[in-house]
Amino acid sequence: MAAHVGEIIASSTTRFTAQCPSEEDAPDFGGFVVVEAAPGRALAVVCEVRSGSFDAHRRPVAFGLSEEDLYQQQPQLRELLTTEFDALLVGYAADGEPWRQLLPPRPPRLHRFVHDAEPEAVRAVTAGGDYLRTLVAGEASDDLLAAAVRASLDASDDHSAAVVQAGQALARLLGDDYDRLRVLLRRVRP
């Protein structure tokens, strides 16, 4: 498995927060990640990525230098800053079982490594678009819905069929809110 993109530092039955090894390792907003969730594995959608100070009581300050010059003159900054992300759980696969669109029976454990999800897992959980209802229930923004749909399309074997499925799922989910659906579908298109 590829290098991890985060390590869980807070977890619940519906979401988790992970700290990235470095800012460059952060997963994409709307991207899919996977984590061990005994007994099995859980799939989640990245709903927020943020960078800041390790110390909540100390705020970073502007230095007025290019990034390269800043880290050359202040190398300790790499040790004082952190990048974290939140992810909403949308799928689960018990040991030896196929992926399903449901929440794991227990939250992922603290300090478990988080990895980018394999396309097969993304395809299995996003087929039919039911995962979008889970995102909406988790109060996902339209930007997150569009980013998650784009990420699911990237993992698709049949792009055309996946686009139609995603559009149908969004139409069912949004009901009579045609303006919102139109704007959301525009955001999904690359």
DSSP string, 12-28: -SSEEEEE-SSGGGPPP
H or E stretch at 183: helix 178-188
Q: Give the pTM.
A: 0.89
Task: Name the residue ranges covered by the structural domains of the chain.
Answer: 6-188
Is there a contact between 33 and 116 (Cβ–Cβ < 8 Å)? yes
Q: pLDDT digit of tens for each residue in the chain (190 aa)?
A: 578 999 999 999 999 999 999 888 899 999 999 999 878 999 999 999 998 888 778 888 888 888 889 888 888 877 888 899 999 999 999 988 999 999 999 999 999 999 999 999 999 999 988 899 888 887 789 999 999 999 999 998 888 888 888 888 888 888 888 898 888 888 887 6
Token pair, residue 85, equals 């992300």
Taking residue 33's Cβ as centre, other Cβ atoms within 10 Å add up to: 23
Q: Radius of gyration (Cα) for the chain, nearest Å?
A: 18
